[in-house]
Structure 1
Amino acid sequence: MTDKVDEALEGALDEAMRDAHISIMPVGGRQLRVATWRLDQPSEHLPLLFFNGIGANIEAVAPLAEALPERPFIMFDMPGIGGSPQPVVPYNPVTMSWTTTQLLDKLGVDTVDVMGVSWGGAMAQHFAIQHPGRTRKLILAATTPGMIMVPGNPSSLSKMADPRRYIDAAFMEEHFQTLYGGALGKAVNKMEHIHRLKPPSPRGYFYQLLAMIGWTSAPVLPFMRKETLILMGDEDHIVPLTNGWLLDKLIPNSELVVLRGGGHLFLLSHSDECVAEIHRFLDESEQSGLSEAA
């Protein structure tokens, strides 16, 4: 029975990655594992650049790329995360945003829509602030403005910082509800997510934690004019909904959408709702948005 479940999970993983083009690329003095979807195909839409959560590899969010089949999609593993080689020196949002522009140049992409979840939401904010000319619209999911934030449940945060959640599947399954809330519903969805995760290297995970220490976007967000969609779950134990309200107040041209019953992984548990909101937001006034980003 276990072998059949493992085969089914492998099949789901293969299906989510079947259209991805994956390669190790030298970018800005680093080696990064990069995945693109449909970047070589004609499209009326800008590519969506996605920044992942802490410790999470490309495969963890591959279903989202597959759920947006009309859009090119770009994502990469942070140094020492997923399939990206071990980092030699630390990085911060400034250097990694610059590195991302070098990647876009290599891919022949000028302007993008930008999305980030959790830790990646902070990176998405910083990228949009540092490189406004390359950013059209911004989507922030389950994230905060950095150190000026309302902290989550201490039990959830302590387990979130523990790399065993990636290394030890039993640890992850035992503490899944504490970490991500109970809204994933079907157990197979939970196991599919766990099956997609690849353990980060200890140094890669530490450098990713280190990158955001002392960082905040709060003083700059009132001056950022990008249209921004903020997605939050009202049962998120790691990033409480209050952080979404704070982002919504700080960003002048923003809208907040609350996923009812959504925990920290509402992109999975509420995938249909999230995809519908992403479509609506990115498709609205797309032509005028392209001229604004120029």
Structure 2
Amino acid sequence: MSTAVRELRMNGRRLRVAVRPGPGRPLVLCNGIGASLELLQPFVDRLDPAIPVVRFDVPGIGGSESPRLPYTFATLAHLLGRVLDELGYGEVDVLGISWGGGLAQQFAFQHPRRCRRLVLVATATGSLMVPAHPRVLSKMITPRRYRDPAYAARIAATLYGGRLRDEPRLAEEILHRHSPREPGAGYALQLLAGVGWSSLPFLPLIRQRTLILAGSDDPIIPLVNGRIMRRLLPHATLHVYPDGHLGLITRADELAPRVAEFLRAPGER
């Protein structure tokens, strides 16, 4: 079924949402820092069409207006709950990639009865994690890669690893796919939301079945972080794929069916 893009008014501000309808439980996608909902289109295209999908631009990113005040992961998880209320959804599955993985963890902890299953992709535990090399982190401070295609290609190997080491020009296509607006102040708000936040204290309390997808060559999120999360989450499975930080997109043919299989597996949680 075709995806419908709409705008909701939340806290008096415009929030851009995309819904691929369907009869079952929806999968909510939480995107990475600076990325609009279009970034994960290749994954959605390869995901079982029987699975409804909800995507959104966080405040200040893509087609969503900037908030009046800065937000935290906790307040954003609350906002996501209100968005799902507005769309008429109760129980959902949640997938978070990179920065969005932090939001997904927070949502699962904050709304345990509403989040059935959790998929964490190329993500970690926030400020308390095994960090990337300083030369990688320095390139994460600015959203320049989203507004400068040549720069995106130039840093692709160092920042994203995996397939983009051999095909750096692919970064131009991935990062500049139909984004309605370049990230600016919204990017800074996302960085601010992560300052001091960590899921380490509450990970053992997340009881949902969790699929962790981690790249073997991810400069931003070293693989050891996925292994740590697998040990701390009570019902987690770790799958390591041979790619980098954007493997959910560059290996969508492989990973989308794996996610669908995980979501369809029997069992309530």
1:46 is matched with which residue?
25
Q: Does 1:125 align with 2:108?
A: no
Within the candidate set 86, 94, 98, 2:66 is matched to: 86
Q: Which has the higher helix share?
A: 1
Determine which structure has more spread, i.e. the larger CA radius of gyration: 1
Q: Does 1:34 align with 2:17?
A: yes
DSSP 3-state at the match of 1:89: coil
Higher relative contact order (CA 8 A, sep 6+): 2
2:212 is matched with which residue?
230
Q: Does 1:174 align with 2:157?
A: no
Q: Does 1:258 align with 2:248?
A: no
Asked if structure 1 preserves the Cα contact closer than 8 Å seen for 2:207 and 2:233, the reply is yes
Asked if structure 2 preserves the Cα contact closer than 8 Å seen for 1:80 and 1:87, the reply is yes
**TM-score, with normalisation over the residues of structure 2?**
0.94
1:66 is matched with which residue?
45
DSSP 3-state at the match of 1:91: coil
Within the candidate set 138, 160, 163, 1:183 is matched to: 163
Between the aligned partners of 2:230 and 2:84, the Cα distance in structure 1 is 28
Q: Does 1:281 align with 2:268?
A: no
State the Cα distance separating 1:197 from its structure 2 match. Answer: 6.0
Matched positions, count: 266
**TM-score, with normalisation over the residues of structure 1?**
0.86
DSSP 3-state at the match of 1:32: strand
Between the aligned partners of 2:28 and 2:261, the Cα distance in structure 1 is 17
Asked if structure 1 preserves the Cα contact closer than 8 Å seen for 2:66 and 2:186, the reply is yes
DSSP 3-state at the match of 2:245: coil
- Over the residues paired in the alignment, what is the CA RMSD in angstroms? 1.7
State the Cα distance separating 1:30 from its structure 2 match. Answer: 3.3
AA at the equivalent of 2:6: S
Please say which of residues 177-186 and 58-67 is displaced more in the overlay. 177-186
Between the aligned partners of 1:148 and 1:20, the Cα distance in structure 2 is 37
State the Cα distance separating 1:255 from its structure 2 match. Answer: 0.4
Between the aligned partners of 1:155 and 1:114, the Cα distance in structure 2 is 31
Between the aligned partners of 2:129 and 2:178, the Cα distance in structure 1 is 27
State the Cα distance separating 1:191 from its structure 2 match. Answer: 3.7
Q: Does 1:164 align with 2:147?
A: no
1:245 is matched with which residue?
227
Between the aligned partners of 1:30 and 1:144, the Cα distance in structure 2 is 30
Instruction: From the superposition, tell whether residues 182 and 258 of structure 1 become closer, same or farther in structure 2 (CA, over 3 Å).
Output: closer
State the Cα distance separating 1:275 from its structure 2 match. Answer: 1.1
Asked if structure 1 preserves the Cα contact closer than 8 Å seen for 2:150 and 2:172, the reply is no
State the Cα distance separating 1:62 from its structure 2 match. Answer: 1.5
DSSP 3-state at the match of 2:257: helix
Between the aligned partners of 1:52 and 1:197, the Cα distance in structure 2 is 15
| Structure 2 residue ranges without an equivalent (≥5) | none
